[in-house]
Structure 1
Amino acid sequence: MSDALSPIAVGSPISPSVVELCSQLIAIDSSNYGPGGPNGERAVADYIVERLTAVGYEPVVLESAPGRANVLLRVPGRESGLDAFLVHGHTDVVPAEADQWSVDPFAGVIKDGYIWGRGAMDMKDMVASTLSTLLRWKEKGTGPRRDMVFAFVADEEAGGTFGAQWLVSEHPEWFAGVGAAISEGGGTPVSEKDADGKTHWFYPVGTAERGTLHMRLRATGESGHASRGWADNAVTHLIDALGRLAHHGWPISLIPTSRAFIEQTAAELGIAVDLSTDEGVEAALVALGPVLRSDVPTRGSLNPTVLQAGYKVNVIPGVAEAEIDVRSIPGTEEKMLEEIDHLLGPRVTREFIAEAPGISAPFDSEWFSAIADAIVAADDEAVVLPYLLGGGTDAKAFAKLGIPGYGFAPLGRDPEGRREGGMHGVDERMPIAALEIGATILEKFLTEV
């Protein structure tokens, strides 16, 4: 570990510690229950606004619907003529089943070297680090090199309809002149040992995301009495189609981001790889080990998630429906949809519930280089890699404005080996040291980029 950056641990009246900020944000229950449920994003927005206005910033609150609040702030840079930069983070979290937790998921508990609670990993940690940077700029009388746009947005956990998607559609003026953006989806250290037992530290930074294609399938048939043999059964048509979809083997699609990840990781570990064939790619992934392999989605995926049919056990229904979650490698959407239509067959139709094709950002850019520089300044053993996110973020919304997005919500290495865990699950938690170091990395990057 380098001593070039000291972790942000001790707060002040102007700039509380990032740990305190994160704990207080977690204590605001902003669970996203969808359009019809209670949502606490307005309360988080009020907290952010109070913190920022207290030190002289002038944030703006934009509500897409009652309670669905987004906070926007533009901070002028020291040098004119440079492209602006966007930092966006979502303030909503997925609900928590409190009876399964060992702590109150909305208390912001600090114990055993961790901050516990819903949002500790996703993504009130990054929101706290961003706030910490803004407050420390005021405390130290400094600021960014270029104009910075900060967007604390609602509704990411349900697709961004009331958050990033709405801002892009209704308030694109906020993002005029923005050259690139960062948000969740990278910057977390992972380790792997080489053949000699030496530990190597990798920091994957998101430079691409798989597409999100959520669909509703509908099969129709002829209703009838269930005691009779019935060929035209909507449930059977649907089940047959789902079976074909679920068991289909999607081909390997190695985009530049994934190729670079494999090649650079293998070189660091001293592993020879041949990526010219599918077999070679599979062998390379096995050689990288399970932790690193999980960061290289090389195929699309499809999972049935919702089924609806029938109303009475002795009546064959005339309609059966299902919902499927499809994730596509960037650039493969058209071919994947053609194959899905072939597998569905003539008796099942589809319609999109949500459609967001995959995205990519260049990793031979000044932005990626600045990210790598900030990470290496905190950890001189760091190997910074581009990688493809298997899921998705609000970066897809801002990509519609031509803004390349990078997954960079930095964390550091906990000196005692603690790891974050529980995202979207039970006992979500963040190592305190990881967050403190991550906040220093983020502040350096936003100040100097």
Structure 2
Amino acid sequence: MEPRAAGAFRRALPGVASGLALWIALSCAAGEGQPPRFPRPPGDAAQAAAPHRQVLRAIYEELIEIDTTEARGSCTEAAQAMASRLLAAGFPAKDVQVLVHPDNARKGNLVARLRGTGAKRPLLLLAHLDVVEALRRDWSPDLDPFQLVERDGFFYGRGTSDDKAMAAIFVANLVRYKQEGLVPDRDLIVALTADEEGGAHNGVAWLLANHRGLIDAELGLNEGAGGRFRQGKRLFNGVQASEKVFQSFALETINKGGHSALPVKDNAIYRLASALSRLSTFDFPVSLSEVTRTYFARMAPLEEASTSADMKAVLATPPEPGAVARLSASAYYNALMRTTCVATQLEGGHAENALPQTARAVVNCRILPHESVAEVERTLIRVVGDDEVRITKVMAPQPSPPSPLTPSVMQPLEAITRALWPGVPVIPIMGTGATDSLYLRRAGIPMYGVSGLFSDIDDVRAHGKDERLGVSALYEGQEFLYRFVKSLAGGG
């Protein structure tokens, strides 16, 4: 889940704070996590659920085995395959559309609608079809990233966790609602889109610009969080309510150069290297929001004693420096506490036997949603401390507002989590990366990253080698989203 940054920061933090406070007051106390299990309904209901799992399994396999990478894949093929599933289930053609970007025939998007009474505005169910690159030689010898393999309690394949599980679940559950004759209070819109992971044809941005009416909604669900377990013990079910701002800066220095046989101290590469060295030792100050403060408060009881104490200590005003230093050793906790900037690309020089005339680096920043891009740029200039190193934005900043954690969303989320996984708390999360929720939040549609798909907090394989998702996790996520969507949809 990594698009180019998007969204526009608005005056939403007060809404997040008030909604979060009300939710905390209404929610139950967090308890101990439970070992992973599939929540089977009693008696004959368990057998009745089996066909829906079989439908999901078939859809999941079909999606995984369609290559949807930027280099050679086709999101259009995947969108058409899902459209065929829905049409075969009895959805009218007017409610199942594959919309292809006019500049690239491989960048298709599916938009499907289950019509309700219209008593409420629609609910958007968003997932992306594209996946990051995966080469056969980079995976284990007995695994092909574009063949679904079920082994030792896991599904292996590119996109098994990011994000074809949610895409398959939304399609399978839409078929299930159709078969049940569900007529909700609001339309349910499933949108499966292209280029979330990058590329020039982002489906959500294109649909908002050209087909807004097809995906306009009161609120929506997307990736961005999920459940986490450690050593077989469930920790929490996450809901992503905000994201950091993606912003890259170019650091560049220019020199007259010369012959390498006559070196001088003023060297473009050395000057840039010194600037990057100063940046590498700098940390932005800790700045917690309502979402991240609640995250640490709710995670503290779930961690071992020393980490728990540190989490409580960073909630103090000011945060305890020793606790900050210890938590910062975790890349994830460090990213939650502060803005981060890191060098990601480097180039310089033009010939082996010439002094460099230019040297350039890209520094990628992930900025806290309540902090200013302009202030981060001023901080970079101060830390680099060299007027000969020019700092410019690689692209215009596009922050997004947080989504308010209102009781209408949080109460059913809490209740369903308790029903499926007793004692597991719901914890709000700020995304340290980025998802397509940014575009929709910017457009005024609150988005909530919630899936009910549990994964190992210490073994994250999305975007990497041997990506996988637990078999039971897939089916539990299906049941969770089936119930949660119905609750948000209302009606019978």
Query: 1:342: Cα distance to partner?
Result: 2.6
Tell me if 1:243 matches 2:277.
Answer: yes
1:172 to 212, 232, 244: 212
- Whether the aligned pair in 2 keeps the contact of 1:192 and 1:201 (CA below 8 Å) is no
1: distance between equivalents of 2:476 and 2:433? Answer: 26
Equivalent position to 1:100, from 138, 154, 159: 138
Answering whether residue 59 of structure 2 is matched by residue 21 of structure 1, we say yes
Q: Counterpart in 2 of 1:426?
A: 465
Counterpart CA distance in 2 for 1:236 and 1:367 is 53
- Deviation of the 1:428 alpha carbon: 0.8
CA RMSD between the two structures: 3.0
Choose which of 76, 87, 92 in structure 2 pairs with 1:42: 76
Percent of pairs with identical residues: 26
Alignment of 1:145-156 (within 5 A): 145-156=185-196
Separation in structure 1 between the aligned mates of residue 324 and residue 276 of structure 2, nearest angstrom: 31
Q: 1:40 to 1:445 in 2, by over 3 A?
A: same
Equivalents in 1 of 2:206, 2:51: separation in Å?
35
- Cα 1:159–1:409 change in 2 (3 A) is farther
1:418 Cα offset (Å): 11
Task: Decide which moves more: 347-356 or 146-155.
Answer: 347-356
Distance in 2 (alpha carbons) for counterparts of 1:252 and 1:228: 46
1:263 and 2:301 aligned:
no
Unmatched tracts of structure 2, length 5 or more = 1-36
Distance 2:326 2:430 in 1: 17
Letter in 2 for 1:207: A
The alignment's TM-score, normalised by the length of structure 1, stands at 0.87
Over 3 Å counting, the alpha-carbon distance change for 1:258 and 1:59 in structure 2 is: same
Which structure 1 residue ranges, 4+ long, deviate > 6 Å from structure 2? 5-9, 287-291, 417-420
2:483 pairs with 1:441: no
Q: Deviations over 1:207-256 (max 9, x none)?
A: 11111112333221212112223354332332222222222111111011
Distance 1:163 1:215, change over 3 A: farther
Residue 244 of structure 2: which of 193, 196, 210 is its match? Answer: 210
Measured against aligned partners, the alpha-carbon deviations of 1:26-54 in whole angstroms (never above 9, x if no partner) come to 11111123xxxx23211111111111111
Residue of structure 1 in register with 2:119 after alignment: 81
Partner of 1:183: 222
Decide whether the 8 Å contact of 1:217 with 1:351 is kept in 2. Answer: no
Kindly indicate which of the two structures has a greater share of residues assigned to helix.
2
How far 1:281 sits from its partner (Å)? 7.8
8 Å CA contact retained: 1:25, 1:128: yes
SS in 1 for 2:425: strand
Match for residue 346 of structure 1 among 374, 378, 387? 387
- The letter for the 1-side match of 2:88 is A
- Residues 339 and 32 (structure 1 numbering): CA distance in 2 closer, same or farther, change over 3 Å? same
- Retained in 2: the 8 A contact 1:374–1:441? yes
Quote how far apart the aligned CAs of 1:143 are: 4.5
Contact 1:19–1:432 at 8 Å: present in 2 too? Answer: no
What SS class does the counterpart of residue 293 from structure 2 fall into? helix
Residue 310 in 1 paired to residue 349 in 2? yes
Conserved? CA contact 1:28–1:44, under 8 Å: yes
Q: TM-score by structure 2 length?
A: 0.80
Q: SS of 2:126's equivalent?
A: strand
Deviations 1:62-98 (A, max 9, x none): 21222111111232224x3323221111100011121
User: What does residue 427 of structure 2 align with?
Assistant: 385
Report what 1:138 is aligned to. Answer: 178
What is the rounded CA distance, in whole Å, between the counterparts of 2:334 and 2:130 in structure 1?
25
Moved more, 363-372 or 38-47: 363-372
Cα distance change, pair 165–354 in 1 and its aligned pair in 2 (3 A): farther
Higher relative contact order (CA 8 A, sep 6+): 2
Match of 1:163 in 2: 203
Pick which of 252-261 and 234-243 moved more.
234-243
Following TM superposition, by how much is the alpha carbon of 1:441 offset from its aligned partner in structure 2, in angstroms? 0.6
CA contact (8 A) 1:212 1:392 kept: yes
CA distance in structure 2 between the aligned counterparts of 1:50 and 1:372, rounded to whole angstroms: 35
Q: Shift in Å at residue 191 of structure 1? A: 4.8
User: 2:336 aligns to what?
Assistant: 297
CA distance, structure 2, for counterparts of residue 358 and residue 401 of structure 1:
9
**Once the 2 structures are TM-superposed, how far is the Cα of residue 298 of structure 1 from its aligned partner?**
0.7
1:210 and 1:359 in contact (8 A); partners too: no
Residues 111 and 354 (structure 1), Cα distance of their counterparts in 2 relative to 1, 3 Å cut: farther
Q: What is aligned with 1:32?
A: 70
Q: Judging changes above 3 Å, is the alpha-carbon distance between structure 1 residues 139 and 200 closer, same or farther for their aligned structure 2 residues?
A: closer
